[in-house]
Amino acid sequence: MVESRDLGTSPDEVQFRFRDDEPVDHGTVTVDSCCDQTNATAVRIEPGDDARLLLPFLDRLALVEVNFPSFTDGRGYSAARILREAGYTGELRAVGDVLIDQLSHMLRCGFDSFAPDKRLDEGDAARAFATWDNVYQRAADTRRTIADKRHEA
């Protein structure tokens, strides 16, 4: 059994959460560990990890943390969408160098909780989450796109 207490964020560190269920109250394991052990329910994806390795285990996962060591490394956006496209419905938490101006994109890619290294200004964040009334692309948030709206009957 891999010691996982010190890996990952705790519920206290989550600044924004758009879910009603109880947050997972234990630490996460690495993707490798998650694939090796049968009982892990929380996992942490690093930028270089292949999110698709988790697909066989989605049913048992309640929390996936995606780490952004630097906000300029955008691999976590693809990881998030891949999990949502595969039907993952548990908590998807963006952690690390999560800043105001990335929040709206993260939301669209399927993240529903946010644990930034440095707490964000609440007002700025609220504005950022609400940035786009409409969107051009289909994404994990399944919003109807501008093109959909243009052509609705």
Partner 1 sequence: MYQYDSYDQAMVDARVEEFRDQARRRMEGRLTEDQFKPLRLMNGLYLQLHAYMLRVAIPYGTLNARQMEALADIAEKYDRGYGHFTTRQNIQYNWIRLEDAADALADLARHEMHAIQTSGNCIRNISADHFAGAAVDEVTDPRPYAELLRQWSSFHPEFTYLPRKFKFCVIASAKDRAAMRLHDIGIRIVQNAAGETGAQFYVGGGMGRTPMIAPLVRDFVPIDQLITYAEACLRVYNRYGRRDNKYKARIKILVHELGAAEYTRQVEEEFAHLLSVGVEPPREELARIAEYFAPPTFRHPSESWDLEQLQSKAAGDPSLRWDDGFGLWVRRNTHPHRAPGYVSAVISLKPVGGIPGDATADQMRIVARLAREYSFDELRVMHTQNLLLPHVRIADLPVIWAALDAAGLAAPNMDTIEDIIACPGLDYCSLANARSIPLAQRISERFAESGRTEVVGELKLKISGCINACGHHHAGHIGILGVDRKGTENYQLSLGGSEAEDVSLAKITGPGFDEDGVIAAVETVTDVYLDARTDGERFIDTYRRIGMEPFKEALYG
> Cβ distance 84 to 111 under 8 Å?
no
User: Is 27 or 76 the residue whose CB approaches partner 1 more closely?
Assistant: 76
Decide if residue 131 touches partner 1 (CB under 8 A): yes
Q: Are 77 and 109 in contact (CB under 8 A)?
A: yes
119 forms part of the interface with partner 1 (CB under 8 A): no
78 binds partner 1 per the rule CB under 8 A: yes
* 64: β partners: 43, 92
Beta-carbon contacts of 134 under 8 Å, excluding residues fewer than 6 positions away, are 145, 146, 149
The sheet that has 16-17: what strands, in order across it?
16-17, 113-116, 91-96, 63-68, 42-45, 29-30
Instruction: Please give the single-letter amino acid code of residue 110.
Output: G
- Sites for partner 1 among residues 93-112 (CB under 8 A): 99, 101-102, 104-106, 108-109
Asked if 53 is part of the footprint of partner 1 (rule: CB under 8 A), the reply reads no
Judged by CB under 8 A, does residue 134 bind partner 1? yes
Q: Is 22 in the site for partner 1 (CB under 8 A)?
A: no
* Of residues 59 and 136, the one with the C-beta less far from partner 1: 136
Q: Which is nearer to partner 1, 19 or 75 (CB)?
A: 75
| Contact between 148 and partner 1 per CB under 8 A | yes
